[in-house]
Amino acid sequence: MTAERCREWRELLGAHALDRLPADERAGLEAHLEGCAECRAELDSLAGVARLMPLADPERFGAAPQPPAALGDRVLAAVESERRTGARRLRGRRRWRLGLALAGAAAAAAVLAIFVLGGGGGEGAPEREVAFHSLPPGMEIDTTLVPHSFGTEIHVYVSGVRSGTLCRVFLRDDAGRRASAGSFRYRWGEDSEAVLTSALDLSNAAAVGIRVGKRTFEAGV
């Protein structure tokens, strides 16, 4: 097979990969492919691209849409605004505490009663921040564990999952037993911190876990 002859066949490979070759030429090309490893390799490399072609919309081959000039400024302003409010992941926590301060009289009284009747237990021990690592890209989970005499208060900050996702939170003790802390739904676009409690004492907790949709993540305390 001369190189020139091979080139003639090779230039039909694109049409063949796209299944747009008339039957007579296809028969000839297939015979050539039997004996030409180079052309077979070339066909393979084009076949992957050819398979994707139906996914494209030819009406979108013109100029790509460009973001408005103001979007860059908005992104930077949003980053600046988060930076100014201090440690970004603490933003939700602060807001929650403010919310607690403003909460209805009944709720405030109930919290007060717990603190007054509290006494020993974990009360007074320092709170713990536990970050989750090895998460999928763009996903974030941070927790703060606050010891109380009645158990452990758990502040959970989640971002980067589908809005409406059910999240179940639990603590795990040294023996591997789970103590549920309840559940919440993550809502995108809102401050996504939830506050839950578990009856397990923080001093007995080995890990905090959260089941987000169908995936479970745990972090050692």
137 is a contact residue toward other proteins (CB under 8 A): yes
CA–centroid distance for 185 within its chain: 15
Residue given tokens 């993550």 in the structure block = 186
Which position among 79, 109, 110, 114 is part of the footprint of other proteins (CB under 8 A)?
79
20 is a contact residue toward other proteins (CB under 8 A): yes
Least distance in Å: CB of 216 to other proteins? 18
> Taking CB under 8 A as the criterion, which residues in 181-210 touch other proteins?
188
Q: How many chain residues touch other proteins (CB under 8 A)?
A: 56
66 is a contact residue toward other proteins (CB under 8 A): yes
Q: Which range of residues in 96-104, 131-139, 143-151, 207-215 is near other proteins by CB under 8 A?
A: 131-139
Of 174, 109, 193, 116, nearest to 148 (Cα)?
A: 116
**How far is Cα 195 from Cα 144, in angstroms, rounded to an integer?**
9
41 is a contact residue toward other proteins (CB under 8 A): no
Least distance in Å: CB of 42 to other proteins? 8
11 is a contact residue toward other proteins (CB under 8 A): yes
> Taking CB under 8 A as the criterion, which residues in 80-109 touch other proteins?
80, 82-83, 88-89
Contact (Cβ atoms closer than 8 angstroms) between residue 144 and residue 93 = yes
Lateral strand order in the sheet of 151-159:
128-131, 140-148, 151-159, 193-198
74 is a contact residue toward other proteins (CB under 8 A): yes
Which position among 37, 63, 106, 175 is part of the footprint of other proteins (CB under 8 A)?
63
Which position among 23, 56, 105, 175 is part of the footprint of other proteins (CB under 8 A)?
56
Give the footprint of other proteins on this chain (CB under 8 A). 10-15, 17-18, 20, 45-46, 48-58, 60-68, 71-72, 74-76, 78-80, 82-83, 88-89, 133, 135-140, 159-163, 188
